[in-house]
């Protein structure tokens, strides 16, 4: 089968990588792809927001499946257009993708289906939101732009001043454009964060191995929120009891509620959760695989990826017995350029990837790289690479990944040095509380 992967980041590189191992792949394509994917797939210069161009490409290549990585084409309705020409896709249609495309839609769905999430109020008017900030008694609170804001539309305000500044930035200064026409003010939840990602075929829910992202820019969870600075899998945070709660109270009711509204969800459903004293609560839903979560999950997948994705796209996930994983742990460290997430200085030559990948269990996924005409690999801004390593346990995987990271060099390279450290400490002293 010919398969097209849509996107240009580390997550899509991981999709291409795992699909390349599938026995039924005839040819692999990526749009637009990146320098890393180009080793395994043919890259086509069609951007992710050119829906008509992507459909035409998929038809020309006679693909049997399109794997859609990022949220933008999903929320814009790429899957509806592919369905209209009879091409199955891994990813929800426009109606179901609202779960990520509008936080107000997501909150409304949670309320109707009694899915636990932070209390909130939605505002369409800046003056009403500003007045509401004056009534808040419990600080901090969380201010969120309603629409897609590339992971940047969430501000944790410590006091009224910061909350009002956030409302003004989102609604009056239109920092996130149309995404900020509506805004949510939300109760702040305390606890440990956990991502759970599941394959959903409209009805059947198959939960993937648990993983843990590190969203803040600096060690010790300091600094601004980013798309993700590193991740590991599995994690002891997901005990069998919490797993059951998440499945029963969050994933299954969400999938049923969407189906009941006539918006059945097919694709990767990502629940961002806070493990609170009252049980798991939903922070957000994404309608796609996480980045860097997919880079550390897919290397552990033993089940044939193409079979699994096709079953999800065609509503036959119930025919797959069980998803199989290696018993290895995986640790992934994101290398960023310059001042990410604030600014970038692209164009720096990258060296050492081959030397890093010579280490056992190491795989380097490209997120923001570019091949220059002379063949030189350079940075292309933001998150540049996701270096991953498999190991017999997380401590082993962490040791290997940092050894690999040390072999890679580019101007301004920055990374967190504590990816997985808290989990390793937790496993070393099991009764210790999972603080902060």
Q: Which of 91, 230, 267, 290 lies at the binding interface for ligand GLY (CB under 6 A)? A: 290
**Site for ligand AMP (CB under 6 A): which residue of 16, 171, 269, 283?**
283
Q: Please give the Cα distance from 368 to 380 (Å, whole number).
A: 5
- Minimum Å distance from CB 431 to ligand GLY? 29
Q: Of these, 286, 312, 369, 398, which contacts ligand GLY (CB under 6 A)?
A: 286
Least separation, in Å, of the C-beta of 285 and ligand GLY? 10
Closer to ligand AMP by Cβ: residue 92 or 228: 228
**Nearer residue to ligand GLY within complex by CB, 293 or 328:** 293
Residue 276 in contact with ligand AMP, rule: CB under 6 A: no
Shortest Cβ distance from residue 99 to ligand GLY (Å)? 13
Beta-carbon contacts of 198 under 8 Å, excluding residues fewer than 6 positions away, are 205, 206, 207, 208, 251, 268, 269, 271
d(CA 257, CA 260): 5
295 binds ligand GLY (CB under 6 A): no
Minimum Å distance from CB 396 to ligand AMP? 28
Q: Stretches 21-29, 114-122, 287-295, 408-416: which one binds ligand GLY (CB under 6 A)? A: 287-295
364 sits near ligand AMP (criterion: CB under 6 A): no
Q: What is the Cα–Cα distance from 428 to 436, expressed in whole angstroms? A: 17
Q: Which is nearer to ligand GLY, 291 or 304 (CB)?
A: 291
The yes or no reply on residue 142 touching ligand AMP (CB under 6 A) is yes
Kindly identify the residues of this chain, within the stretch 217-246, that bind ligand GLY according to CB under 6 A.
227-228
Geometric angle at alpha carbon 51, from 50 and 57, rounded to 5°? 90
Q: Give the CB-nearest residue to ligand GLY.
A: 228
Q: Does 282 bind ligand AMP (CB under 6 A)?
A: no
Q: How far is the CB of 283 from ligand AMP (least distance, A)?
A: 4
- Residue 32's binding partner out of ligand GLY, ligand AMP, none, with CB under 5 to 8 Å set by partner kind: none
Does position 46 bind ligand AMP by CB under 6 A? Answer: no
Q: Which residues on neighbouring strands pair with residue 163, listed in sequence order?
A: none
Q: Is residue 193 involved in binding ligand AMP (CB under 6 A)?
A: yes
Q: Per CB under 6 A, does 7 bind ligand GLY? A: no
- Binding residues for ligand AMP (CB under 6 A): 118, 142, 151, 154, 186-189, 193, 215, 225, 272, 283-284
- Binding residues for ligand GLY (CB under 6 A): 151, 213, 227-228, 286, 290-291, 293
């Amino acid at each position: 089968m010919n398969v097209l992967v849509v996107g240009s980041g580390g997550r899509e590189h991981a999709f291409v990588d795992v699909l390349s191992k599938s026995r039924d792949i005839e040819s692999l394509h990526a749009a637009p792809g990146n320098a890393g994917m180009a080793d395994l797939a043919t890259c086509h210069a069609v951007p992710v927001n050119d829906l008509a161009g992507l459909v035409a490409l998929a038809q020309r290549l006679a693909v049997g499946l399109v794997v859609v990585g990022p949220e933008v084409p999903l929320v814009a309705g790429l899957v509806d257009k592919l369905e209209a020409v009879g091409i199955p896709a891994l990813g929800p249609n426009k109606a179901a993708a609202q779960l990520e495309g509008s936080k107000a839609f997501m909150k409304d769905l949670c309320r109707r289906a009694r899915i636990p999430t932070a209390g909130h109020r939605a505002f369409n008017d800046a003056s009403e939101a500003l007045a509401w900030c004056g009534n808040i008694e419990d600080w901090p609170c969380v201010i969120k732009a309603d629409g897609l804001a590339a992971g940047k539309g969430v501000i944790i305000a410590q006091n009224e001043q910061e909350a009002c500044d956030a409302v003004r930035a989102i609604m009056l200064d239109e920092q996130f454009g149309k995404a900020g026409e509506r805004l949510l003010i939300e109760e702040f939840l305390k606890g440990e964060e956990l991502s759970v990602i599941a394959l959903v075929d409209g009805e059947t829910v198959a939960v993937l191995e648990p993983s843990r992202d590190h969203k803040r820019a600096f060690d010790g969870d300091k600094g601004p929120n980013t798309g993700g600075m590193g991740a590991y899998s599995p994690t002891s945070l997901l005990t069998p009891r919490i797993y059951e709660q998440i499945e029963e109270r969050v994933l299954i009711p969400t999938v049923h509620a969407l189906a009941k509204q006539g918006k059945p969800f097919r694709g990767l459903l990502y629940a961002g959760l806070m493990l609170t004293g009252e049980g798991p609560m939903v922070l957000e839903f994404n309608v796609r695989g996480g980045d860097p979560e997919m880079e550390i999950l897919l290397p552990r997948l033993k089940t044939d990826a193409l079979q699994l994705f096709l079953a999800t796209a065609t509503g036959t996930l119930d025919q797959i017995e069980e998803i199989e994983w290696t018993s290895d742990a995986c640790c992934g460290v994101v290398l960023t350029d310059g001042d990410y997430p604030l600014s970038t200085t692209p164009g720096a030559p990258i060296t050492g990837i081959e030397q890093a990948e010579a280490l056992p269990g190491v795989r380097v996924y490209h997120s923001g790289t570019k091949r220059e005409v002379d063949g030189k690999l350079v940075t292309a801004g933001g998150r540049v690479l996701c270096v991953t390593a498999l190991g017999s346990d997380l401590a082993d995987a962490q040791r290997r990944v940092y050894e690999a990271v040390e072999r890679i060099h580019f101007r301004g390279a920055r990374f967190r040095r504590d990816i997985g450290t808290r989990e390793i400490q937790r496993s070393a002293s099991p009764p210790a509380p999972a603080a902060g």
